[in-house]
């Protein structure tokens, strides 16, 4: 395995994107979703990027790249149509010990970006180490069909429950038994079919009476029509 898999917390961190086309737009969208502060450098910008600059969500750092734009930056993405410029950006980033991804030039990257499936707080990353983006895309599309939005809701429920389990049980084996029972139950299928009363019944059976489901009920009611169905 050549690459070390990792999820980065970029919330509030400065990131530089060199390029203003469709590829750069996709990178910027993801960075903003992660809460990053994005700077963009490009002579031309897509309409969407231009809108983000105008409304203050993205900082415009200039039309031409220069190393000073990397000041205070944690991560760089080079996504221009000029491979030599992309390579130069990567070299400058590496000389400053800044991680850099170069679109479609894995040999110039210090990190590569996986294809991802996102369902709320559940993120599934697929990588072929740059060998075949087409294969990664195919696998992603298959996983998107298998893991629907019900997994986002289930992940949220597990997050609500986890703190209570950790507080009430000191033993690792007891905790493991509960978490295993939850993920091996039919809760995901029940959520998919909007059978919320059955979801609560399964949770009560696994967790017992000493657990609060108020957080779950609140979220269920927020998206329901009043009959317990989202």
pLDDT in tens, 44-90: 999 999 999 999 999 999 999 999 999 999 999 999 999 999 999 99
Give the alpha-carbon dihedral of 73, 75, 76, 79, to 10 degrees: -140
CATH class for the domain made up of 14-113: alpha beta
Q: Residue 179: how many CA atoms within 13 Å on its side-chain side? A: 16
SS3 category, 126 = strand
Query: At residue 142, does pLDDT exceed 70?
Result: yes
The residue ranges of every structural domain in the chain are: 14-113, 114-147, 150-222
Mean per-residue pLDDT for 90-98? 98
DSSP state, 18? E
In degrees, rounded to 5, the angle at the alpha carbon of residue 50 between the alpha carbons of residues 46 and 52 is: 120
Question: What fold is seen in the domain 114-147?
Answer: Double Stranded RNA Binding Domain (3.30.160)
pLDDT in tens, 150-208: 999 999 999 988 888 888 888 899 899 999 999 999 999 999 999 988 998 899 899 88
């Amino acid at each position: 395995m050549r690459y070390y898999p990792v999820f980065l917390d970029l919330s509030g961190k400065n990131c530089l994107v060199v390029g203003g086309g469709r590829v750069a737009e996709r990178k910027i969208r993801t960075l903003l979703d992660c809460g990053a502060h994005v700077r963009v450098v490009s002579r031309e910008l897509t309409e969407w990027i231009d809108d983000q600059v105008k409304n203050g969500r993205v900082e415009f750092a200039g039309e031409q790249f220069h190393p000073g734009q990397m000041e205070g930056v944690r991560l760089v993405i080079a996504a221009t149509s000029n491979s030599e410029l992309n390579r130069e950006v990567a070299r400058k980033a590496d000389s400053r010990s800044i991680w850099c991804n170069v679109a479609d030039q894995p040999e110039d990257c210090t990190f590569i970006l996986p294809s991802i499936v996102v369902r709320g707080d559940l993120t599934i990353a697929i990588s072929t180490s740059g060998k075949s983006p087409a294969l990664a895309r195919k696998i992603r599309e298959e996983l998107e069909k298998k893991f629907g939005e019900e997994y986002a809701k289930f992940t949220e429920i597990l997050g609500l429950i986890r703190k209570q389990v950790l507080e009430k049980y000191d033993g690792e084996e007891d905790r493991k038994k509960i978490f295993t029972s939850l993920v091996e139950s039919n809760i995901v299928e029940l959520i998919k079919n909007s059978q919320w009363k059955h979801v609560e019944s399964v949770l009560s059976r696994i967790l017992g009476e000493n657990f609060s489901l108020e957080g779950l009920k609140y979220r269920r009611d927020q998206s329901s029509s009043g009959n317990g169905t989202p």
